[in-house]
Structure 1
Amino acid sequence: MAARAEVETFLQQLLAPERFKDYGPNGLQVEGRAEIRKVVSGVTASLALIDAAAQAGADMLLVHHGLFWRGQDGRLTGWLKARVERLMDAGINLFAYHLPLDAHPEFGNNARLGIELGLQADGRFGEQDLGFIGHAGGAIELKELQERVAQRLLRPPLAVPGDGRPLRRIAWCTGGAQGYFESAIAAGADVYLTGEISEPQAHLARETGVAFLACGHHATERYGAPAVAGHLARSLGIEHRFIEIENPA
């Protein structure tokens, strides 16, 4: 068992959210019970995940996508009211970390995705150094990387081939980081992996010769929250369970 204040301090020191200019508040978003025995981790604080956490007997939910975002209306009505009400009825503390969870060098989404795909990071790129760049232990072909992604993430990536060059430098940034493609190209990447693709990236891939793989927003961000929550649980002597809520995006 750990006090909520102890958990909050632990996560603050681990993830250093004050270092990031983010799209919403990081840390404790909804206050629940003062003592925490069990944490459930997941990607998004959806109603389905909140209900599953309550059924699992969680005192705390740790997610990547929380409830509150910059520019949001903020009134507790509709879906937002339902989620907050369910959390408060169950006494569950909601902790959410967005960019800090992407960026952490050991437990973050990018670090853990690299491990899943057998990629070795040796540099950073992009805004706030969120993107990782490195290699796969040697040059590989695009088809091999596509197959690896499909096997590990359980879904085939959407691929825009480059010029067919061997992939020596691989850049990646999880989630909706398609806007970092130009920064990845400038950093010397032969291929860029992220969660989503928008219309301009297909043209950039064709014109620069740098391949682009859109591997799924949710699919690329399944790894950071359970890694952080697992570390928290081991360090403070509490129970942890990851709950997957399927999302095709």
Structure 2
Amino acid sequence: MIHTTPHYHRIACLCTEAVETLYLLGAEELVAGISGFTVYPPEARQQKPKISGFSSGKLEKILAVEPDLVVGYSSLQSDILKEVAEAGVDILHFNHHSVDGVLRMVRVLGSLTGRRHAAELLCEQLEGQISAARLESAARDAAGLPRPLVYFEEWHDPIISGIGWVGELIALAGGRDAFAELAGHARAKQRIVADPQTVIDRQPDLMVGSWCGKRFRPETVLERDGWQDVPAVRNAERGHIIEIKSADILAPGPTLITRGLPQLQALIRQWHEDRAG
């Protein structure tokens, strides 16, 4: 494959999805440092120095890897990125909250690293997976099959529902987001479900737990007052409550399509099989 000369040679990634994307583009040699929360690809944790947390980072540690570009994500990294810019280093600050935003991020990183062709190929792969999910869901719709109501829990205390791209993935997989009206809010505080009774009232058919950075404990859901009347909880033993690890669906990079979407599809397929069986 022919690469153009990259615009940047040493990229410090404060967000995990930038690391994942650069590796997928074949630009891993350009990664100078990574977030300590990086999961994919696993080899990055062995190969690259860890220079920050997600909402925490020290300028000295970032500058120590001599970056010519620092990539961050969300308002939580605004302060440290401002310090980096004041130190004279270029910054790239993503803040996307949609599946389309993931594709834009891939293309931007491809352009900035001389990997435009690789970025287009990766986007074609991701778009193909999205299209296949849409076709499967549309086939069920055409057959008159219902779409299950899916409750996605991003945190448990307080209860926080899923962010925008999660709702998109649920729809792509053939479900309905139980808190679609909250999904458009970027900040977690705006997606707090203040009264747990609201979840009970909505009677979700399925539940996905993805507690950001923490193992989901379904047994705690079964013990919640009044939740035994929720269809997902009544059918927990049939696999209607599952965990999708936060690294697979809450990091706004390719993994939410390659890993998160298939797990949602499998959950909804199982629900349809249980109804038919």
Q: Could you tell me the TM-score, scaled by structure 2's length?
A: 0.31
Q: Larger % of strand: which? A: 1
Q: Could you tell me the TM-score, scaled by structure 1's length?
A: 0.34
RCO greater where, 1 or 2, for CA within 8 Å and sep 6 or more?
1
Pick the structure with greater CA Rg.
2
